[in-house]
Amino acid sequence: MATRVLRVNPRRPEPWVIREAARVIREGGTVAFPTETVYGLGADALNPEAVGKIFWAKRRPADNPLIVHVDDVAWLGRLAERVPGEALRLAERFWPGPLTLVLRKSGEVPDITTAGLETVAVRMPRHPVALALIRESGRPIAAPSANLAGRPSPTTAQHVAEDLMGRIDLILDGGPTEIGVESTVIDLTSHPPQILRPGGVSLEELREVLGEVELHPAALGKAEERRPKSPGMKYRHYAPRAELIVVEGDPERVPVKIEEIARGYRALGRRVGILATDENLGRYRSGKAVSMGSRRDPETIARNIFGVLRELDREGVDIIIAEGIPEEGIGLAVMNRLRKASGFNIIRA
């Protein structure tokens, strides 16, 4: 398959580019496009054959459901069996934006889109390119992250091309994404509502609207589901090619422990990469250290996390050792991604 790449203005997308991408969607093809979180791989969510191309291109397990992207709250009435008041309150506060709602699905949604589940995950992205594409195509667009299954999610079109060139029809290059980690997924079919995957909307923000909200154990990276209700729950996700170790604990002890581990691996002839914060970058001598941002600015760490994992892969390291950060605000999403990426290979300092 020949994959075309079209540049698009991320703030004022060119109409001819959007028309061409929408044509591909309507004809059952696949388009990678930027959202405010990461790049998504889109196809017509109501076309089972088109959705099947997403699973093929990503080599995605068939029991891992997709998120359906819409451009209007009115789509909830078609995609969901019923729309509870909680969903409307959350949509009013956070849509368009990085929040996905899990609801009982309607009969209009194909089973392949929801991986056979009785629920459907829906969100309205905030990115002008994503909204324009959905609107022009006239279809809800199923769109997981535009990478090979299990790899770090793509935050640039170049990341998409690394994984999917020759496997999809079109890539819209709208530059780097804003948030850098995927949307928060909240299950409104459980009582109280549960966060299945932390992301761009924090637990604290959701509790401001709904009151009681629980964290599913998978959101903390402490459990896996046999049959996941949301992307990011079951499989080793977001992973670099190198083995990844996450070191958590006392902020003063973490860099000491990382340096100790790194020296041990270097003595064995292994090439070591270190995923550091700005505050500790200068403390490492036993590996290729790159900064993911400041501990005081977790939003920057979220924006950088997948890119620096890919950067260390390109450096050819064998082992990556990552600093843990506080699980506050979007820091919860960062730690969820690091723990998943490591396959729960966690060391306490």
Q: Where are the domains of the chain?
A: 4-220, 243-348
Does the pLDDT of residue 7 top 60, yes or no? yes
Band of pLDDT at residue 55, cut at 50, 70 and 90:
very high
Please give the average per-residue pLDDT across 26-46, as a whole number.
Answer: 98
Does the pLDDT of residue 261 top 60, yes or no? yes
Select from 3.90.400.10, 3.40.50.11030, 3.40.800.20, 3.40.50.2300 the CATH code of 243-348: 3.40.50.11030
**Tokens 């909830």 appear where?**
76
Q: Give 283-326 pLDDT, tens digit per residue.
A: 999 999 999 999 999 999 999 999 999 999 999 999 999 999 99
Residue 221 has a pLDDT of 66
Residue 331 has a pLDDT of 96
Percent of the chain with pLDDT over 90: 93
Does the pLDDT of residue 230 top 80, yes or no? no
Q: Give 79-111 pLDDT, tens digit per residue.
A: 999 999 999 999 999 999 999 999 999 999 999
Convert 234-255 to b/e letters by CB count within 10 Å (16 or more is b): bbebbbbbbbbbbbbeebeebb
Percent of the chain with pLDDT over 70: 96
What DSSP assignment string belongs to 151-217?
SPPPSSHHHHHHHHTTTSSEEEE--S-SS-S--EEEETTSSS-EEEE--SS-HHHHHHHHS--EEPG
Band of pLDDT at residue 1, cut at 50, 70 and 90:
confident
Does the pLDDT of residue 258 top 90, yes or no? yes
Where is pLDDT greater, at 62 or 224?
62
Band of pLDDT at residue 225, cut at 50, 70 and 90:
low
Does the bond joining 152 to the residue before it have cis omega, within 30 degrees of 0?
no
- In sign, the C-alpha dihedral spanning 239, 302, 217, 145 is negative
141: nearest Cα among 63, 230, 65, 51: 51
Residue 160 has a pLDDT of 98
Does the pLDDT of residue 224 top 60, yes or no? no
Domain 4-220 has CATH 3.90.870.10: yes
Q: Which of 106-110, 180-184, 225-229, 343-347 has the lowest mean pLDDT?
A: 225-229
pTM: 0.94
Band of pLDDT at residue 213, cut at 50, 70 and 90:
very high
DSSP 292: -
User: Does this chain's domain 4-220 share its CATH topology with 243-348?
Assistant: no
